[in-house]
Amino acid sequence: MAPIVEVEGLQKTYKGGFEALKGVSLSIEEGEILALLGPNGAGKTTLISALCGITTPTGGAARVGGHDIVDDFRAARSLIGLVPQEVALEPFEKVINTVRFSRGLFGKGRDEALIEKILRQLSLWDKRNARIRELSGGMKRRVLIAKALCHEPQVLFLDEPTAGVDVELRRDMWQVVEELRESGVTIILTTHYIEEAEAIADRIAVINHGEILLVEEKDTLIRRMGRKTLRIDLTTPVAAVPKGLAGYDLELAEEGAALLYHYDTQGEGTGITRLLQALAAEGLSLSDIHTRQSSLEEIFVSLVQEGAA
């Protein structure tokens, strides 16, 4: 099956010469949730804006549902829902009218049953007659999602959906995103919260300085990073890793006062019990042990730093 979003060598050079996208290529499969991670200024919003026709790319091409985003803009755009980063809603308008109006903007006829379904899905039905200004920040974000969904898009872009919202609401939003995916919508979200990507994405793309550094299945990435380090503090420092421990992936640290043991959390058994027995057999005594997990956050930071080097 062809990907629903295909991006090939997409470039955006702003007036003044700044290259915000330097040939981005990416394929997004129907029904997946892709998280686009990147530091401030990486090009996330520019990429989304180009795909949604808000900004015109200066090179490369992209298609949504097979429609070119420039030559066949209307057809491509009709398949897309966009939830922008900033809440821009008419404060005195009623929730339901705001959503109806958005549908009208896409030239779609009235469909009250659909609007009711969307408002119910987003737990906004009870608030349908409330004015926007009476809503909490989290509800306003839900209204933005309702607006983005009301013309029945197949692809939904969420630009920082949970920026500045509290933990509880963030979890609610994740639930909403999962439900949308279950209803068949493909979702691309940008986020600064690595745990958000960890919680809901199927695949993770990392972008920095206008270039995609990595696109990988989340589970593979986490497995790849699922390494832990056990630090063993020795009572008496050693000059080298004792020969009897050569079979273990050990590293000398703290000038011989500690040993670092790297192991895979996803593997069968960690080997720690055997290692501790081997240490005792070598006559080494321990003053302390600690473990440290490498996280998605660390991989992300190191990728971004490598890119900057």
Ligand X SMILES: Nc1ncnc2c1ncn2[C@@H]1O[C@H](COP(=O)(O)OP(=O)(O)OP(=O)(O)O)[C@@H](O)[C@H]1O
Vertex 101, ends 88 and 116: CA angle to 5°?
A: 105
Residues facing residue 216 across a β-bridge: 204
Number of separate helices (H) and strands (E) present in the chain:
10, 14
Q: Which residues, numbered 117-136, are part of the site for ligand X (CB under 6 A)?
A: none
Q: Which long-range contacts (CB under 8 A, 24 or more apart) does 61-66 make?
A: 61/7, 61/8, 61/9, 61/10, 62/5, 62/6, 62/7, 62/8, 62/10, 63/5, 63/6, 64/4, 64/5, 64/155, 65/4, 65/154, 65/155, 66/2
Q: Which of 70, 107, 50, 176 is nearest to 187 (CA)?
A: 176
Q: Which residues, numbered 42-61, are part of the site for ligand X (CB under 6 A)?
A: 42-46
Mark residues 67-106: x for contact with ligand X by CB under 6 A, - for none. ----------------------------------------
Query: Nearest 5°: phi and psi at 67?
Result: -95, 130
Under rule CB under 6 A, how many of the chain's residues touch ligand X?
A: 12
CB of 254 to ligand X, least distance (A): 38
> Residue 52, SS3?
coil
Mark residues 252-291: x for contact with ligand X by CB under 6 A, - for none. ----------------------------------------
Tokens found for residue 294: 């490498």
Q: Does residue number 164 form part of the binding site for ligand X (CB under 6 A)?
A: no
Which residue, 106 or 193, is less far from ligand X as judged by CB? 193
CB of 109 to ligand X, least distance (A): 35
Which residue, 24 or 122, is less far from ligand X as judged by CB? 24
Which residue, 16 or 109, is less far from ligand X as judged by CB? 16
Mark residues 2-41: x for contact with ligand X by CB under 6 A, - for none. ------------x-x-x-x-----------------x-xx
Question: Under the phi-then-psi rule, with left for phi > 0, alpha for psi from -120 to 50, and beta for the rest, what region is 302?
Answer: alpha
CB of 19 to ligand X, least distance (A): 8
CB of 190 to ligand X, least distance (A): 6
Q: Please report, as ranges, the residues that interact with ligand X according to CB under 6 A.
A: 14, 16, 18, 20, 38, 40-46
